Amino acid sequence: MIAVLGLLVGILLGLFFQPDVPLGLEPYLPIAVVAALDAVFGGLRAYLDGIFDDKVFVVSFLSNVVIAAAIVYLGDQLGVGGQLSTGVIVVLGIRIFSNVAAIRRHLFHA
């Protein structure tokens, strides 16, 4: 319940203050969002499976975002940022869809 309340407060603060993303960080924001979504869906799957651990979730959330952004940053430094961004999105997308499929199977007992 407290997580949902925190989410709602965060959304309301974001809508009220409308923060700007610095130009240097804009290429990394979509990657960070997809990495965060991967952690969220993984956490939901773990919760439904009865193995959710809040410490594991926080570490997974932060490490997914940092590692995905670091991979894209490294790609930018090497001149292949677009290719590595695509690779990160594909890998995280596959994980997200796998977790959503497991959640769907769990909810509908299929």
Other beta carbons less than 10 A from residue 76's beta carbon: 15
User: What 8-state DSSP symbol labels residue 110?
Assistant: -
CA distance 106 to 67: 29
Query: Considering the domain boundaries, does residue 38 fall inside one?
Result: yes
Residues 34-52 have a mean pLDDT of 92
Query: Considering the domain boundaries, does residue 1 fall inside one?
Result: no
Tokens of 16: 């009220």
Query: Considering the domain boundaries, does residue 55 fall inside one?
Result: yes
Burial pattern 38-71, b for ≥16 Cβ within 10 A else e, equals bbbbbbbbbeeeeeeeeeebeebbeebbeebbeb
Q: Which domain holds residue 45?
A: 27-108
Query: Considering the domain boundaries, does residue 57 fall inside one?
Result: yes
More confident residue, 29 or 2: 29
pLDDT attached to residue 110: 62
CA distance 68 to 31: 6
Q: Is pLDDT at 34 greater than 80 in this prediction?
A: yes
Mean pLDDT of the chain: 90
Query: Considering the domain boundaries, does residue 52 fall inside one?
Result: yes
Tokens of 91: 């890998």
Query: Considering the domain boundaries, does residue 36 fall inside one?
Result: yes
Q: Is pLDDT at 6 greater than 90 in this prediction?
A: no
Query: Considering the domain boundaries, does residue 84 fall inside one?
Result: yes
- The total domain count for the chain is 1
Query: Considering the domain boundaries, does residue 10 fall inside one?
Result: no
pLDDT attached to residue 17: 93
Closest of 64, 67, 61, 76 to residue 26, by C-alpha: 76
pLDDT attached to residue 65: 92
Angle at 102 between CA 44 and CA 57, to 5 degrees: 25
